[in-house]
Structure 1
Amino acid sequence: MQLQEFADRSHLDPSTIEAWVNAEWLVAHPPGHQFSDQDLARAHLIQDLKRDLGINDEGIALALYLLDELYGLRCLLRDIQAMRTTASERTH
């Protein structure tokens, strides 16, 4: 989705979105600042962390880093499980 649709759906103004992209909390995908549904979910998470939990910007950066690390580990675990399943099927 384009920036304006993302702003409408996230209820954020474009300057906030740009600040979050610059802080690397969101990633604007080329060409022309395309955003995905995952980006929208992440924007809503950031809003919840700020508004509902009162987490400051440094805490947001840390929380997002840890969530990204956790997601990466989940993907790695899924890949390892898939390789083990494939290897097990070959031996039977």
Structure 2
Amino acid sequence: MKLGKPEFLQSVGLETRTLDIWIEQRWLVPEPTPSGPTFSDRDMARARFILDLKDTFGVNDEGVDVILHLVDQMHEMREALARLRKAMP
């Protein structure tokens, strides 16, 4: 499912300025379209994860940045292992 910016903001419960900052920090990377950015289910899950880190666990911006980097590395590693498994006889 793809959402435009207004629907995404409402669905996740973010303010526009917060979303803009997260996009500037590349915590979220929406798909650019002629009508504006669109957000995927993955973006929504990531935004909720960021909210949990900040609001529930009290993680500061630098910590969020490190955690997101590590999570991204973990996903890349899982994808690489899946490709390796497929390539093996």
- Class of the TM-score when normalised by the shorter of the 2 chains: over 0.9
The residue number in structure 2 matching 1:71 is 75
| 3-12 vs 28-37, which moves further | 28-37
Larger Rg: 1
Residue 39 (structure 1) shift: 0.1
Q: Distance in 2 between matches of 1:28 and 1:45?
A: 16
Regions of 4+ moved over 3 Å: none
The residue identity in structure 2 corresponding to 1:73 is: M
Residue 28 (structure 1) shift: 1.9
Which has more helix, going by share of residues? 1
The residue number in structure 2 matching 1:18 is 20
Q: Distance in 1 between matches of 2:32 and 2:19?
A: 15
Does residue 1:6 correspond to 2:28, yes or no?
Answer: no
| Structure 2 gap segments, 5+ residues each | none
| Structure 1 gap segments, 5+ residues each | none
Q: Deviations over 1:47-76 (max 9, x none)?
A: 000011110000000000000000000000
TM-score by length of 2: 0.93
Pairwise CA RMSD of aligned residues?
0.6
Residue 29 (structure 1) shift: 1.0
TM-score by length of 1: 0.90
Which has more strand, going by share of residues? 2
Q: Across the two proteins, how many residue pairs are aligned to each other?
A: 85
